[in-house]
Amino acid sequence: MITATTSESIKDIQADAVVIGISGKTLTGAAAELNEATQGGLQSLIDSEKAKTGSGKVTSWLEPQGIQASTIVIAGLGEQPTAGDCYKAGGAAAKALAGTKLDTVAFYFPGIDGVLLESAVAGSVVGCTGQELHKEKPSLHPPNQILWATGDGAAVNAGTKIGDGVNLTRELVNQPPNYIYPESFANRAAELAELENVTVEIWDKEKLLAENCGSLLGVAQGSDFDPRLVILRYQGNNSENPSMAIVGKGVTYDSGGLSLKPSDGQKTMKCDMAGAATVVGTIKSIAELGSPCHIIGLVGLVENMISGNSYRLGDVLTSRNGKTIEVLNTDAEGRLVLADVLDVTLGLKPDRIVDLATLTGACCVALGLDIAGLFTNNQSWCDQIIESAAEVGEEVWQLPMTKHFSEQLKSKVADLRNIGAGRWGGAITAAKFLEEFVDSTPWTHIDIAGPAFADSAKSYIDGGASGTMVRTLVNIARGL
């Protein structure tokens, strides 16, 4: 799919469909021109509320008179559009049109600035791309070309690259576990080395053993697939130390281990590497944008399976930093993987760390399925993430990190236990466990267990992986 700009008027452009963004009931720019060409038809649809103008709402108008295109999609931007509104509008319009194979779709979003335009473009790239990677006849078909009626080619270019990063994350998560496992994921990540200023380092099992990554290796030992750790470096400036490290949990399939999940709980466990996929998608977008920053991404890749060699309840694992961990639930494996990856990260001396993980069902209980949970040891760093998420329209909410939750992680036989003492506050005790492996480096943990994967579609995006937090992290990186 190609994105480009156009200067053609909405009534004259030769396209299979046009999308007109509407904010409120006063028509300006291309919307006013379209209304005139259709002899007041657009205004009539809006006034009669047959066309919805609320954020993310779309209305199809077939065979309109007075223009060349055979289909118009009216995309609601809301009264005072935000970047999130424009992302949803672009996505919803593109998704509505993707049910049919089209050559060219032209978007006209009058009255929005470059920041909002960038989000709308990203939304359109994501919205028309589905999860049906292995269907002979998928239901969504990206058009061959998306045109944006603007002179701001930089915003269109940037929005496309951000959308592509989100889609890479989505594709990695949506691939089934017989396609994406530690080695194949690492190979996909290695492809980013083709981008300017990106280098990729992959640790295999032997290297992980040599580096004493006993916590990660303990989780991996029940699988026939050997683990990997991938280090992605993007150096867009000459700073010695990375300004940010992005760390991701990469459990490519999670059976729960000996603490076996029920069948329904395993059906979507291909998504348990969404944190790692977010790292890869983010680095791709940052590199393609050419952002003048120094960023590293690290992902720990394992499969949590059952065999005669699986790690057991009661085992004591020795992590890379020397802390010993009593295993009391093999389905609390993501934190064991991240423990070693975070220690590797510290050795690279980043100014700040953010990790992403589909870590706990408890976070879904607390915040639902659309909001990511934030946990931090440094409030100013967490506030920066909150602000960035708000700017791009992604939902996050900070949860407490009260010291007494650490008491639940004390073990009688080791330095730590891998679960809390009871069922309450599970997302917090998981975060407190991770905090044991970041020292004093500013760190924020993002639990994306809720928003990373959806069973059903939304108006602006297909079901399956969402690519959540890629846009937030790219936004942060561009400001460093």
Q: Does residue 159 sit within a domain?
A: no
Domain boundary among 93, 119, 149: 149
pLDDT level of residue 75 (50, 70, 90 thresholds): very high
Residue 319 has pLDDT above 90, yes or no: yes
Query: Which element (helix H / strand E) includes 340?
Result: helix 334-347
142 shares its domain with 199: no
321 shares its domain with 390: yes
State the CATH number of the domain containing residue 299: 3.40.630.10
Residue 464 has pLDDT above 90, yes or no: yes
Q: Does residue 213 sit within a domain?
A: yes
Average pLDDT, the chain: 97
- Name the amino acid, one letter, at 303: E
pLDDT score, position 317:
98
177 shares its domain with 286: yes
pLDDT level of residue 140 (50, 70, 90 thresholds): very high
Residue 191 has pLDDT above 90, yes or no: yes
- Residue by residue, DSSP assigns 393-411 as T--EEE----GGGGGGG--
211 shares its domain with 145: no
Q: Does residue 158 sit within a domain?
A: no
Q: Does residue 160 sit within a domain?
A: no
Angle between helices 379-392 and 470-478 (to 10 degrees): 110
What is the per-residue pLDDT across 410-462, written as a single tens digit (0 to 9) for each?
Answer: 999 999 999 998 889 999 999 999 999 999 999 999 999 999 999 999 999 99
Q: Does residue 187 sit within a domain?
A: yes
Residue 340 has pLDDT above 90, yes or no: yes
208 shares its domain with 137: no
pLDDT score, position 25:
82
Question: Cα–Cα distance between 167 and 451 in angstroms, integer?
Answer: 15
pLDDT level of residue 24 (50, 70, 90 thresholds): confident
pLDDT score, position 16:
97
**Structural domain count of the chain:** 2
179 shares its domain with 64: no
Residue closest to 169 by CA, chosen among 284, 286, 287, 277? 277
Q: Rounded mean pLDDT of 246-253? A: 98
Query: What does pTM read for this prediction?
Result: 0.98
pLDDT score, position 423:
82
Residue 106 has pLDDT above 90, yes or no: yes
Residue 329 has pLDDT above 90, yes or no: yes
Q: Does residue 406 sit within a domain?
A: yes
How many CB atoms within 10 Å of residue 194?
A: 9
What is the per-residue pLDDT across 145-171, written as a single tens digit (0 to 9) for each?
Answer: 999 999 999 999 999 999 999 999 999
Q: Which of 161, 270, 335, 471 is catalytic?
A: 335
90 shares its domain with 189: no
141 shares its domain with 255: no
Q: Does residue 331 sit within a domain?
A: yes
State the CATH number of the domain containing residue 104: 3.40.220.10
Domain boundary among 115, 149, 183: 149
79 shares its domain with 139: yes
Does residue 349 have an active-site annotation?
Answer: no
pLDDT score, position 422:
82
How many CB atoms within 10 Å of residue 267?
A: 11
Q: Which of 11, 52, 205, 261 is catalytic?
A: 261
Residue closest to 369 by CA, chosen among 434, 256, 456? 456
Q: Does residue 100 sit within a domain?
A: yes
pLDDT level of residue 89 (50, 70, 90 thresholds): very high
Q: Rounded mean pLDDT of 355-379? A: 98
CB 23 within 8 Å of CB 111: yes
C-beta contacts of 81-85 below 8 A and 24+ residues apart: 81/23, 81/55, 81/112, 81/116, 82/116, 82/393, 83/115, 83/116, 83/118, 83/119, 83/391, 83/392, 83/393, 84/55, 84/119, 84/392, 84/393, 84/394, 85/55, 85/56, 85/393
pLDDT score, position 442:
98
Does residue 320 have an active-site annotation?
Answer: no
112 shares its domain with 238: no
Domain boundary among 99, 124, 149: 149
Residue 400 has pLDDT above 90, yes or no: yes
Read off φ and ψ for residue 147, nearest 5 degrees. Answer: -105, 140
203 shares its domain with 103: no
* Dmax (CA) of the chain: 80
Question: Cα–Cα distance between 87 and 466 in angstroms, integer?
Answer: 13
What is the per-residue pLDDT across 264-317, written as a single tens digit (0 to 9) for each?
Answer: 999 999 999 999 999 999 999 999 999 999 999 999 999 999 999 999 999 999
Residues paired with residue 398 on neighbouring β-strands, in sequence order: 374
- Name the amino acid, one letter, at 412: K
User: Which residue is associated with the tokens 């561009």?
Assistant: 478
358 shares its domain with 252: yes
Domain that holds residue 93: 2-149
pLDDT score, position 10:
97
pLDDT score, position 26:
87
Burial 327-347 (b: 16+ CB within 10 A, else e): bbebbbbbbbbbbbbbbbbbe
What is the per-residue pLDDT across 207-233, written as a single tens digit (0 to 9) for each?
Answer: 999 999 999 999 999 999 999 999 999
